[in-house]
Structure 1
Amino acid sequence: MSGWFREISGNERRTFWACFGGWALDALDVQMFSLVIPAIIAQWSISRTEAGLVSGATLVASALGGWIAGMLSDRLGRVKTLQWTVAFFAVFTFLCAFAQNYPQFLVLKTLQGFGFGGEWAAGAVLMAETIRAEHRGKAMGSVQSAWAVGWGAAVLLYALMFSILPAATAWRAMFALGILPALLIVYVRRGVQEPDAAALKYTGQGVRNADASADEPALDAVFGIFSPQVLRMTLIGALLGVGAHGGYYALMTWLPTYLKTERHLSVLGTGAYLAVVIVAFFVGCLACAQLLDRIGRRTTILAFAICCVVTVVIYLFMPLSNAAMLVLGFPLGFFAAGIPASMGALFNELYPRGIRGTGVGFCYNFGRVVSAGFPVLVGHMSANMTLGTAIGIDAALAYSIVVVSVLMLPETRGRTLGGLSAGSTDEAVTEAEGAHRFSQAHRH
């Protein structure tokens, strides 16, 4: 990362670290639940299906939050939206620690998801519009590696809390520490500038580019992504989001429970296996970051998705020893990283800037809405088959959807987002013309 990182400006670096910190803290809060599922099941005597419902409801709420935050970022700006969403999910993560029963926890966890989804949408567009085009893939992929940092911190916190506290107290202590992301707001407010491409004027009819003429109609930030010019991209991007999120959440929501209940690993043993997956996820994000700008978005996603299908099938269906599973955990985490590490760059490059936040928020988070059913389905299927089999079927199906959808998308590597880089390119002109066509379409 050091080579390209030295070339970028101070504002680009500050934005990178602000987004990196936000996503790391997102992961810390979100991954807590997958680790404490057994303790919560024991606490309130709920079923696996009910535990899966918590994850599903959180994903639906995060999808709604992401779409709304994407629209707000087009209207109010990326930085301000990022501040509010970080505060929202931090507060509700903290409140989860004080839930007195399952219904209360379900509601609080759902509200946490609303803020979490919004933070990703605002941060992804902020990062994409701030970084120069030639480094966008590397920056977006590297920022996604923050998920592994937060995930690793959650596992360490899990091992510490459950080693020194009773299970009924330990899971609450973990959620109470979720208030920490609020500290990121201070950094975001002081250190990060609003990108020029997000300097949009809002009218009662929609969003207008800041440099648009007074008589030019505004692009409708809500419905513009369904205009004929980009409808195909919106639908395929949403399908890609379904496969990407469905595979990840089917696998990672239930993996700790699988390791503990079916592989009979201790808390520390489960942590060791997860550590291999997490380190591999971090390395996979950095490898993907380099490939995105070298071989393109489509080829990178396709390669990682195919490898995900193969690895998941071997990991969960083959009769492996615990030692073999420990080793195979590395490719499992490595390939699982490539798809989410690619989506930020790809989705931002599919839309003109007046509707970019809305488009990114929709494609990424529509996938979350539909994929919310995958963890619930795993829990339901595990009543009639082993948990490992249920996870494997769902995850392999989801990653197959990624393979199909990415084959229908264009290559977007190197596309300039509204003249953010020095100079101008034909692609920037094309984007401006596309925005004008949007305006003409809405005029009629």
Structure 2
Amino acid sequence: MGRRHHLPFCEVQMSTTKTEPDTGAPHEDTGAFAWLRALGPRGRRAFGGAFGGYALDSYDYFTLPLSMVAISAYFSLDNGQTGLLTTVTLVVSAVGGALAGILADRIGRVKALMATVITYAVFTVACGFAPNYETLLVFRALQGLGFGGEWAVGAILVAEYASAKHRGRTLGAVQSAWAAGWGLAVLVYTLVFHFLDDDIAWRVMFWTGALPALLVIYVRRHVRDAPEAAARRAASAERGSFGAIFQRGLLRTTLFATLLSTGVQGGYYTLATWVPTYLKDERGLSVVGTGGYLAFLISGAFIGYLTGGYLTDLIGRKRNIALFAVLSAFGVLAYAQIPEGADGVLLVLGFPLGFCMSAIFSGFGSFLSELYPAELRGTGQGFTYNSGRAVGAFLPTLVGFLSESWGVGGALALGAVGYGLAVVALWGLPETRGRELL
């Protein structure tokens, strides 16, 4: 029997419009933000915590690439030493990601999220006090411990609140926080390096990495783990077992997911690390000019994350990744080969390049979450994503060494190799679109 709709007295008197009879069928929300409303109040608070954590994770990461020219000059570094700063961050992030994943399965998503945010914030600030290159290298490595774990933990936290129908676009929206943090870092970089001398400006950039401390207060007060997933995790004696993701039944998934992550992140971090240096050193752009060019790249990235999120629900996880891996490879090659004097083309091409290299990540949060059961979800996602990041991190270092003979622009083309590897890895993984999280 249909439900009666009781209108206020004044509306009954004024209404002259006929209404369709209520059949009792639930109304399907098809609005643009249906995915956000479907999370419910607790899920939306979790989304806010994960979005903020990932944005500030991105902000703290990009303090290094944006300050790289000034740091290199201050400590008299060559390109190989400079690239090693990025590589050590990403390599250690594999350890941090694996540890955070295990913690997320054992003590809960929210507690692990707070631990990762505090870690990357403390050591980002510490980088600003480094008296020499060796100390900076150590602090940057320790920053990688928190940096590596935040995304995996935050993505799982939100994935366990999201429905199968909306999970791709929901996690794509979380991924878009990376572009938001990147954009904030470029804005602060432009202001700090415009008003301060380079020798102190790079230190100030690192000191602003204290911002995430405010987020921890919010997460502690307002965010909770998804109840059903937490109950399943608590009931399992195997939760947080590192060896379990290499056992029969999950071994193939773990190996190919790691290979996929290696390819995608090798390509991405090659660009993220060296494009600012390429624009400033080889294209001769000023600090403000570099910020303008990066604004096109970041705008494309933000829209790419959101678009990729919708596409991964529409066409599937694997097709979305394959599509944008191919487009990103071509975009890298084109960007690196733009001739001198064609800076207008460089500016315009930054938007589609940022779009493609970011849209490929939109399906990662949902895809990796759907490959593992609740009791191993943190461990599996933390290991595969961050181990891939660590191996892929050797590409930025290789670019640094090859740039001495090839130039930064020529060496950037190596990023296309990473995207090719990602396409190969997809052959060993199942399609998971529509899969419920168990």
User: Normalising by structure 1, what TM-score?
Assistant: 0.89
Q: Is 2:438 the partner of 1:414?
A: no
1:93–1:108 contact (8 Å) kept in structure 2: yes
- 2:401 equivalent in structure 1: 380
Match of 1:166 among 197, 218, 221: 197
User: Structure 2: which amino acid aligns with 1:149?
Assistant: A
CA 198–4 in structure 1, closer or farther in 2 if over 3 Å, else same: closer
**Distance in 1 between the 2:166 and 2:344 partners?**
39
2:105–2:240 contact (8 Å) kept in structure 1: no
**Distance in 2 between the 1:180 and 1:93 partners?**
10
User: Normalising by structure 2, what TM-score?
Assistant: 0.90
What fraction of aligned residue pairs are identical, expressed as a percent? 49
Q: Is 2:147 the partner of 1:126?
A: no
Q: Is 2:26 the partner of 1:2?
A: no
Deviation at 1:3, TM superposition (A): 3.2
- 2:326 equivalent in structure 1: 306
Alignment of 1:250-269 (within 5 A): 250-269=270-289
1:78–1:198 contact (8 Å) kept in structure 2: no
Match of 1:230 among 247, 250, 257: 250
Alignment of 1:155-304 (within 5 A): 155-199=186-230, 209-211=233-235, 218=238, 221-304=241-324
Deviation at 1:317, TM superposition (A): 2.0
**Distance in 2 between the 1:8 and 1:123 partners?**
15
SS at match of 1:68: helix
Deviates most, 320-329 or 255-264: 320-329
- 1:61 equivalent in structure 2: 92
**Distance in 2 between the 1:99 and 1:34 partners?**
16
**Distance in 1 between the 2:383 and 2:217 partners?**
28
Deviation at 1:6, TM superposition (A): 2.7
**Distance in 2 between the 1:220 and 1:310 partners?**
39
Q: Deviations over 1:183-224 (max 9, x none)?
A: 111111111111234426xxxxxxx84345xxxx63661111
Deviation at 1:182, TM superposition (A): 1.1
Unmatched segments (≥5 aa) in structure 2: 1-31
1:242–1:368 contact (8 Å) kept in structure 2: yes
**Distance in 2 between the 1:143 and 1:11 partners?**
16
2:96–2:147 contact (8 Å) kept in structure 1: yes
Alignment of 1:359-438 (within 5 A): 359-392=380-413, 394-418=414-438
Q: Deviations over 1:53-93 (max 9, x none)?
A: 01000001111100110011111111011111111111111
**Distance in 2 between the 1:167 and 1:183 partners?**
28
**Distance in 2 between the 1:198 and 1:135 partners?**
17
1:197–1:353 contact (8 Å) kept in structure 2: no
User: Structure 1: which amino acid aligns with 2:394?
Assistant: G
**Distance in 2 between the 1:190 and 1:130 partners?**
18
Q: Is 2:371 the partner of 1:350?
A: yes
Q: Is 2:74 the partner of 1:38?
A: no
Alignment of 1:68-79 (within 5 A): 68-79=99-110
Deviation at 1:179, TM superposition (A): 0.6
User: Structure 2: which amino acid aligns with 1:136?
Assistant: R
**Distance in 2 between the 1:220 and 1:64 partners?**
15
1:67–1:121 contact (8 Å) kept in structure 2: no
Bigger Rg over Cα: 2
Unmatched segments (≥5 aa) in structure 1: 201-207, 419-444
Q: Is 2:357 the partner of 1:333?
A: no
2:39–2:161 contact (8 Å) kept in structure 1: no
2:102–2:240 contact (8 Å) kept in structure 1: no
Deviation at 1:7, TM superposition (A): 3.2
- 1:101 equivalent in structure 2: 132
Match of 1:142 among 166, 169, 173: 173
- 1:316 equivalent in structure 2: 336
- Figure out how many residues of one structure are paired with residues of the other and give that number: 406
1:296–1:412 contact (8 Å) kept in structure 2: yes
**Distance in 2 between the 1:385 and 1:137 partners?**
39
**Distance in 1 between the 2:318 and 2:174 partners?**
19
1:77–1:198 contact (8 Å) kept in structure 2: no
Deviation at 1:318, TM superposition (A): 4.0
RMSD: 1.3
Deviates most, 218-227 or 8-17: 218-227
**Distance in 2 between the 1:209 and 1:280 partners?**
38
